[in-house]
Amino acid sequence: MRDIDLNGKTILVTGSPGFIGANLVIRLLKEMTGGTVVSLDNMNDYYDPALKEWRLKRIEEAAAESPVRHVFVKGSIADPVLVEKLFGEWHFDLAVNLAAQAGVRYSIDHPDVYIESNLIGFYNILEACRHHPVEHLIYASSSSVYGGNKKVPFSTEDPVDHPVSLYAATKKSNELLAHAYAKLYNIPSTGLRFFTVYGPAGRPDMFYFSATEKLAAGKKIQIFNYGDMRRDFTFIDDIVEGVYRVMRGAPEKKNGEDGLPVPPYAVYNIGGGQPENLLDYVRTLQEELVRAGVLPADYDFEGHRELVGMQPGDVPVTYADSEALERDFGFRPKIDIRTGLRAFAEWYAGYRGRKGAAEKAP
C-alpha cells in the first residue's frame, strides 16, 4: 500500500452535495492545509433538491474558512464530454466517485436511471482515469452486493454473484469494471461497500428519515418482514472517517511474473459489525424524536406503525466483517445507534423548524 499525502492535492468528489459526498468534502476542507477540491453533482430530484442545496451551503461555509479551494460543478458523470473536460482541465491527483443512483426499491421501477448513472457514469470516470492517470480512484460500492448470502458476517472474500436487485447488480458491476481497468491500465482503485448509512441531513428515502417524516405528520409507518430484520447501521461520521483513511492508502502498483500489472485493486466493507434488530432501532428512533421535541411524549407509537411482509429486492440481514479495514487502516466504525439517532433527531428538529419557517414566508 502506498501512502498519499492529501495536502496540496487536486481531488474530485462526485456525488457532492449528496449525503456522503457533502460530509466528505467538508472533512477534506477542514483537514487539508492546501489544494483544491472539485465537487460534481447533477442536483437531480430523486429526493427534495432543497436538502442538497442545504448541504451545498454547508460546504460553502466550510470552504470560506478553509485554505483549500473548492469548486462546485453542476453536471452528470453520465456526460462523457463534461467528465473528460474536467479531468483534462484539473489533472486530478485523486478521484472519489460517490455519484450514483441510490435505492434498492426505486431500481425496480426505474432501471434506466441506474444504467445511466451507475454503469455509464462510472465507465466515464474509469475512462477519464485511464487517459488522465490518478494516484488513487476510490468509489462507492454497497452492502447490497451480498444479496441473500446466508453466511454472516459478510466478508469481501465471500462470493457475490447473486444480486437480488438491479441496484446491487450495478454496484457489483462497478467492482468488476474497476478490477478490469486496474489490470489493463494500472489504475489504483479501491471500492467501499457501505452498510446502511444514516445520520443528520441524510437521504429522505432511507427508513429512519422517511419514518420520521411520516410520524411527524401523524401517518403510519410500515415495518417490513414483520420487524424480523437486522441491519448493520453505520453512522455518517464513521463512513467519512473510513473513506478519508482509505483515500490516503492506495493499492501499490507492481508487476507479476509475466511482466504485466498485478491489478492495484482493493475492496473493503465499512460497517459497524453490530447488526441491530429493526424493532429496536425503531424504538430508539422514537425515543430520540420525543427527546428532541419532534414528537410529543404521549405519542401513540403502536397506533402509528404496521408490521408488513418483506419487499422485493430487500434482504433480512446485513452484517459487515470490517477486519480488513481495521487491519490495513486501523479503523472500525464504532458509533452506536443511540448516539447516531440522537444526532439525527436533534438535526431534524432544527431542520424542520427552518423548513417550516421558509414555507410560511411570503
44 or 10, greater pLDDT = 10
* pLDDT tens-digit series, residues 135-189: 999 999 999 999 888 888 999 999 999 898 899 999 999 999 999 999 999 999 9
CA atoms of 287 and 289, how far apart (whole Å): 6
184 conformational bin, left if phi > 0, alpha if psi -120 to 50, beta if neither: alpha
Please count the helices (runs of H) and the strands (runs of E) in the chain: 12, 17
Task: Please tell me whether residue 132 adopts helix, strand or coil conformation.
Answer: coil
- φ/ψ of residue 168, rounded to 5: -60, -40
DSSP state letters, 86-119: HHHHH--SEEEE------TTHHHH-HHHHIIIII
Q: Parallel, antiparallel, or unpaired: how do β-strands 276-277 and 230-231 relate?
A: antiparallel
User: What is the pLDDT confidence band of residue 220, given thresholds at 50, 70 and 90?
Assistant: very high
Q: How many CA atoms lie within 13 A of 224 on its CB side?
A: 15
* Spatial CB neighbours of 330, under 8 Å, sequence gap ≥ 6: 245
pLDDT at 361 over 70: no
Whether the link from the prior residue into 80 is cis, omega within 30° of 0, is no
User: Contact at 8 Å (CB) between 250 and 188?
Assistant: yes
> Model's pTM, two decimal places?
0.94
Peptide bond into 17 cis (omega under 30): yes
Q: What would you measure as the largest C-alpha separation in the chain, in angstroms? A: 71
**Does residue 353 carry a pLDDT above 80?**
no
Residue 339 has what pLDDT?
97
Residue 355 pLDDT greater than 70, yes or no: no
Domains defined along the chain, listed by start: 2-199+233-273+318-335 (3.40.50.720)
The predicted pLDDT at position 333 comes to 94
- The Cα–Cα gap between 195 and 108 comes to 20
Neighbours of 100 (CB within 10 A): 24
pLDDT tens digits, one per residue of 119-129? 999 999 999 99
Residue pLDDT, tens place only, 95-131? 999 998 887 777 888 899 999 999 999 999 999 999 9
| 83 and 125 Cβ atoms separated by less than 8 Å | yes
Q: Which residues are CB-contacts of 263 (< 8 A; sequence separation ≥ 6)?
A: 179, 182, 183, 251
Please say whether the dihedral angle defined by the alpha carbons of residues 41, 45, 51 and 54, taken in this order, is positive or negative.
positive
Residue 270, phi then psi, degrees to nearest 5: -125, 100
Q: How far apart are CA 343 and CA 333, in angstroms?
A: 16
What pLDDT is stored for residue 326 in this prediction?
A: 96
Instruction: Work out the percent of the chain whose per-residue pLDDT is above 90.
Output: 78
Q: How much is the mean pLDDT over the chain? A: 92
183 is written with which cell numbers?
489490470
Work out the percent of the chain whose per-residue pLDDT is above 70.
97
Catalytically annotated residues = 167
Residue range 249-268, pLDDT digits in tens: 999 999 999 888 899 999 99
Residue 362 confidence (pLDDT) above 50: no
